Amino acid sequence: MKKLFHLSMGLIVLAFVAHIIFTKAVMDSAEEKSGQPSKPSIVSEKKQNLPKNNKRAMNLTSDSIPVMAEKEFEGSDLKLDKALKETDEYTSYLATYKSEGLKISAVMNVPKSKGPLPIIILNHGYMDPKVYKSGSGVPRELDYFAKHGYVVFQSDYRGYGTSDLDPSNDVRPRSGYVEDVLNAISALKKSDLDFLDKENIGMLGHSMGGGIALNIMVTKPDSAKAYVLLAPIHSDYKVNFDKWVKTEWPETAQQFYRIYGTYKEKPEIWESFSAKNYFDRINAPVMLHQGSADSQVPAEWSRDLFRDLKDHKKDVAYHEYPGEEHVFSSGAHSVAMKKTLSFFDKELK
């Protein structure tokens, strides 16, 4: 009788364990079939295998710079879908690639000169996605560098152009855009396009795109050999949040608080979104351009950024343009581009 009793209890326990395993498998399968990008999650230092001496790495989120620094970005499936225009110097293509399960659109300008050719990644600033079209934001740069022998690649980012939407991206600290640019670089390197010099990549970002470049240079320092920032947003995420999200998108701000907490509640998480806390990781030269009369990005932000990078012993050059606004006039833009071209030529050719 005792043996029968023990046997029965064993079968009950096994059945209970099997039920738990089956339930979890069903739930995991449902998540995979949904096709939705994963929501930001709180992760521990142990789970992410982060450096034990990095106290900031504990209990951060999947959007935190130390966590993203440990992630492998597997962008792929780069395709040149169709030619948009052809000039005497280059052909412009609409391209697509995969980023975190999303299909992202982009514009690639390919010079007609003999390859392999160095690559410049362009990061556009914020625009209303409803009015944005592929290649918007930095069209002058797309044209200029292609005419001077560079393959120029501009990701539209998720939710822009004909890219797939990511419902969670508006609430996240723009980390989805960082993912898209890093995955673009991965897709370029994996492609079989023989006109690409995959060892010589530069990056230029304007406004929000400059902030994306800042985060990339501290998240994956070897992504590019040289960086150019045009009137970049602040390297402190809270400063940007207070200036734009709180005032222009208050409902989004409330959603952000519910996911990440307020700064008072979770300062370590907020600080982990800020490139300024990781400037020691930068290993490439930086050129910074700023208009003194910029009404969107105060000139003092770029002056402070220059001083901070200098204090960290980084290779940085700063150029300020008197009376220029957030988007440079043709004269100032021409001067800035000549300086930028000389900088890229030195570092990438």
How far apart are the C-alpha atoms of 209 and 230, rounded to whole Å?
9
φ, ψ for residue 172, nearest 5 deg: -70, 160
- With 0-12 CB in 10 A as exposed, 13-18 as middle and 19+ as buried, what is 65? buried
247 residue type, one letter:
T
How far apart are the C-alpha atoms of 256 and 169, rounded to whole Å?
11
* Alpha-carbon dihedral angle through residues 53, 58, 64, 70, given to the nearest 10 degrees: 50
CB 239 within 8 A of CB 246: no
User: Which sequence spans correspond to the domains of the chain?
Assistant: 76-236+274-348
Q: How confident is the model at residue 32 (pLDDT cuts 50, 70, 90)?
A: very low
Q: For position 169, what pLDDT does the model report? A: 92
CB 232 within 8 A of CB 305: yes
Q: For position 41, what pLDDT does the model report? A: 52
Give the rounded distance of the alpha carbon of 302 from its chain centre.
20
Q: Answer whether residue 349 shows pLDDT above 80.
A: yes
CB 209 within 8 A of CB 298: no
Q: What is the pLDDT of residues 159-207, one digit of tens each?
A: 999 999 998 998 999 999 999 999 999 999 999 999 999 999 999 999 9
Q: What is the pLDDT of residues 249-278, one digit of tens each?
A: 999 999 999 999 999 999 999 999 999 999
CB atoms within 10 A of CB 209: 29
Q: For position 59, what pLDDT does the model report? A: 76
* Domain 76-236+274-348 CATH assignment equals 3.40.50.1820: yes
Q: For position 346, what pLDDT does the model report? A: 98
